[in-house]
Amino acid sequence: MRALLPPGVVVVESHGDVPGARPFPGEEEALVRAVEQRRREYVTVRHCARQALAELGLPPVAILSGEHREPLWPTGVLGSITHCDGYRAAALAREGAVASLGIDAEPHAPLPEGVFGAIARPEEQSERERWADERPGVCWDRVLFSAKESVYKAWFPLARRWLGFEDATVRFAPEDGTFAVELHRTGPEVDGVPLTAMRGRWAVRNGLILTSVVVPAAG
């Protein structure tokens, strides 16, 4: 994931759960009804986030969740977290390094039957064959899903409102691991300019799909 993000963003990853990691005070409330796997993911990804805070020169704190399940970062920090089977990661930056960011990880496997049609706009469905021709062997349906998850994670801290799968068109450049995003909802302003587009990066490595989206800082 580190290779998909710019300087100024700290990334801490784990390919397994951290032995002995414990939730901080206040975090336990989110785990009252959690199954054991969910509990391990929650604790480990927050352990990663606290390591990232340390790399930024900041003390460890509880990382609670907002009403939309978004992580609540300390003042002056922004970031994103992700977890799936065999992978957990946190990407953090000081405010001013970037305006917003989102990361996502998914297993490199096809989506369940019928899901692609629910997440893909018509123009994305028609592009899928071209993507497959240029990079055969890539599960493009799941790459699209992951990219849109990263888009939403970068959008929400700025807009504070929902963005559906249908509200963004993703256009991949299979040859260089990037993608462009066209937003179909009126976005928040960044440096006085409405946010209408984003850019991201993607990779398939070691059985995982990794995506990132970064909104550059003002100026």
Residue 189: φ, ψ to 5°: -90, 140
Domains and CATH numbers, the chain: 2-97 (3.90.470.20), 104-216 (3.90.470)
Question: pLDDT exceeding 70 applies to what percent of the chain?
Answer: 100
Report CA torsion sign: 82, 167, 67, 154: positive
* Cα–Cα distance, 199 to 145 (Å, whole number): 15
Q: What is the pLDDT of residue 219?
A: 59
Confidence band (pLDDT; 50, 70, 90) for 141?
Answer: very high
* Cα–Cα distance, 212 to 91 (Å, whole number): 10
pLDDT at 18 over 90: no
How is residue 132 written in tokens? 């497959």
pLDDT at 204 over 70: yes
